[in-house]
Chain A
Amino acid sequence: MLKQLIVLSILFFGTAGVLFADQSGALAPLTFSGPKEAGPFHYSKSYVLEKTVTAGEADLDLMIDTPTGAIAVVMGEQDIRAQTQEKKMDGISYFDSDLEIMDLPGMGTRFNLDKMKPGKFNMKISNAKRQFVSMIVVQPESPLVLKARLTPLAAKVGEPITVEAQLNDEDKIFHKDIQIRAKLATGHNFKLRDDGKKADKIAGDGVFSGKFTTPKVKGLQNIKVHLKAEGKRGSSANDFHRTCIISVMVTAQTSRFPYDIQVNNTGILVPVQAAQGRYRLSVIYGAQGKKIAWAQKDFTLTGQDKKIQVNHPRQALGADQAVIRLLNYNTRGLEDEQLVEFHPPGGIKYRSNYQPTLKTLPESKQNSLLNLE
């Protein structure tokens, strides 16, 4: 039995693979995912208001559904004074240079909206020093969340991207006249639809969809999509706003797999189109729908087509599919990605080689926890 297994192993994964794979290893048996995977979901219970300032003053119309814990922050301005129709509001000014390292204004004035009533109200601000005021309103306890994502997470220039957005409402309150619009930094903007037409799969399911084509970029670029949802909510049909930002990683393609990838007994033979620079081939192996192993090889292209062999690591014994990725070291872009299916000979079944890392702390770190403040 053991002899048979050894023979089969040599047939399918030649010893060369074990010896010469650049880098490889076992993976935790989590779900295997192929190319074009969706980006992560983003959630928003906030919206942004902007208004022109005249003589240090501006009028802003706020809408809140859940005042508990709600705040409004005037970004980039300290000592802002505010007044509603009923009363003066006390703000807290702050300055933190750490915020500027995230490209956010370090200063601001924060107003607590805890004591406001749900609905629409006017907030007049004064003592503003800039030409425009930008205010972000957040309602952390609101049951209404804008949830959105882009598919795929990574794309090449000129490829289609699907935008999906939905309004989740824990209160199950009927929404009316909902509009969700998407806008790219290029200025291109479009309305998402829930009528089952074009990019939208199912009419009236609450998932609004739209499509756009990725713009031209240099190297690898993060392309942002701003989403703005508005409508009426609840039995009293109060207005609501939500805004959200999501992005897709777009690569200006320099190389690709010009023809079919071949799988042989020792590894995967990958054709790569002529280009210049450092590249990486990355292979993730799967078996029975789970990831099992990885292998990668770095190489340089010097203006000619190449065939690159990535040898099967021993941990990939029994694999029935693999996703192969061509990555550009100079731009960190994803140049090409392809799923390959294959059948292990002789009915070899996958047996996990994955050894989880021990999570115990070394003695010095364990001892230190006694002094943790």
Chain B
Amino acid sequence: MIKKLFLTIVISLTLGSISTLHAATGVVFVHGKGSADLASPSTAFNYWGSDMIRASTANYKVPYYIAHYDGTRDMEVSGNTVADQIADFINNENITDLIINTHSFGGVVTRWIFSNPTHGANYQTVINATRWINAIAAPQKGSEAADMAGMFSGTWLTGWIVDLVGQKNDSTTNCETDSMAYYNKYWLNGTSGRPALPKTFYWISGWGLWNDYFGAWHSEDIGLATLSGVAMMPGEDDGMVSEYSAEAVGTQWFRTKANHHHNRRNDYKNIGDMLGSDLENTQ
């Protein structure tokens, strides 16, 4: 009897190991907030840039998918779209070992999925297939830059800035620090004192601002450095997200000097090469 039981355990473990060895790995990219155009695959592709995708997939070693959703919507609406897209990718490519790379609000959208597994029909499929999540500069406790947008749409001002950039959208409100304090208390898991997430989030936070402004004269760099100053972000930040916020969920992987513009690309620092290292043991 004991021999039979022992044999069964050995066979099960062996089969388990074989299935692990033959795990079908895939990589998914989940972008951050932005315009409604991000629902288009080509706009979402450009968000990351081709070199970031090449490097993060270790020269296209594994199948990959670039999630694309309307960047003005909140985490729940976006989460539903993203979960459906990822589930299709998992099913079409028979993925059993998924790595999810997120940038900015994409980290919050993904955390919504992992915090509410029963909410969408495909949420659990995504969770089950996932190895881990690499969250680059995610505003897990919100962003003071999003709060600042509220200052310029207030009643002491004429609202002309609203005319300039359009009405405040749901994803910006979602990213405000008070909104995220609320969601972290009632709906999202993984922050201190909340239930644990079912898979590990590895955080990457940015602390640089000016980056290659003085060499390449990127006006984006001065824009982010200015925003960091006027939004009074506490501690170090990448121009859009403070490090305390990016580091509020999960386990540290690394900090980068790349600002919010550069840390979704493989240009100023080798962020994509770092993400690609996840595939070093993949056949």
Contact = CB atoms under 8 A, between A and B. Distances in A.
Nearest to B226: A110
Interface in A314-373: 325, 327, 329, 332, 334, 357, 359, 361, 364-365, 367-369, 371-373
A333 B173 CA distance: 15
A245 B270 contact: no
A371 B156 contact: no
B172 A43 contact: no
Given A103-B169, A247-B178, A76 B150 contact: no
Interface in A181-225: 183, 185, 187, 222, 224
A191 to B, nearest CB: 15
B136 to A, nearest CB: 14
A4 B30 CA distance: 52
B20 interface: no
Closest 9 CB pairs between A and B?
A96-B223, A368-B277, A103-B149, A30-B193, A94-B222, A96-B220, A247-B178, A249-B182, A94-B223
Which of A48, A94, A334, A359: most chain B Cβ within 10 A? A94
B157 A48 contact: yes
Given A94-B219, A99-B223, A247-B150, A367 B277 contact: yes
Contact of B254 (A95, A104, A372): A372
A105 interface: yes
Contacts of B119: 329
A332 B220 CA distance: 35
Interface string B117-149: 111000000000000000000000001011111
A108 B278 contact: no
Which of B143, B161, B230, B240: most chain A Cβ within 10 A? B230
Interface string B144-174: 0111111111111110110011101100110
Interface in A21-73: 22-23, 25, 27-28, 30-31, 37, 39-40, 42-46, 48, 50, 71, 73
A75 B232 contact: no
A27 B230 CA distance: 37
A365 B278 contact: yes
B270 A373 contact: yes
A312 interface: no
Interface stretch (A6-14, A127-135, A263-271): A127-135
A224 B150 contact: yes
A102 B145 contact: yes
A134 B35 CA distance: 24
A291 interface: yes
A282 B270 contact: no
Interface of B: 32-35, 71, 76, 117-119, 143, 145-158, 160-161, 164-166, 168-169, 172-173, 175-179, 181-183, 185-187, 192-196, 200, 202, 219-220, 222-224, 226-227, 229-230, 232, 234, 239-240, 251-254, 256, 260-261, 269-270, 273-274, 277-278, 280-281
Given A71-B230, A185-B154, A364-B278, A357 B251 contact: yes
Contacts of B269: 373
B222 A27 contact: no
Contact of A42 (B177, B186, B192, B278): B177
B281 to A, nearest CB: 6
A245 B252 contact: no
Contact of B149 (A102, A110, A291): A102
Contacts of B152: 48, 75, 104-105, 134
A228 interface: yes
A48 B195 CA distance: 40
A153 interface: yes
Nearest to A187: B155
B196 A357 contact: yes
B161 A372 contact: no
B69 to A, nearest CB: 14
Contact of B186 (A27, A132, A154): A154
Nearest to A293: B195
Given A42-B147, A334-B182, 14 more contacts: A25-B196, A27-B195, A73-B226, A76-B160, A96-B223, A102-B146, A104-B145, A106-B165, A138-B230, A187-B155, A222-B173, A247-B176, A365-B278, A368-B274
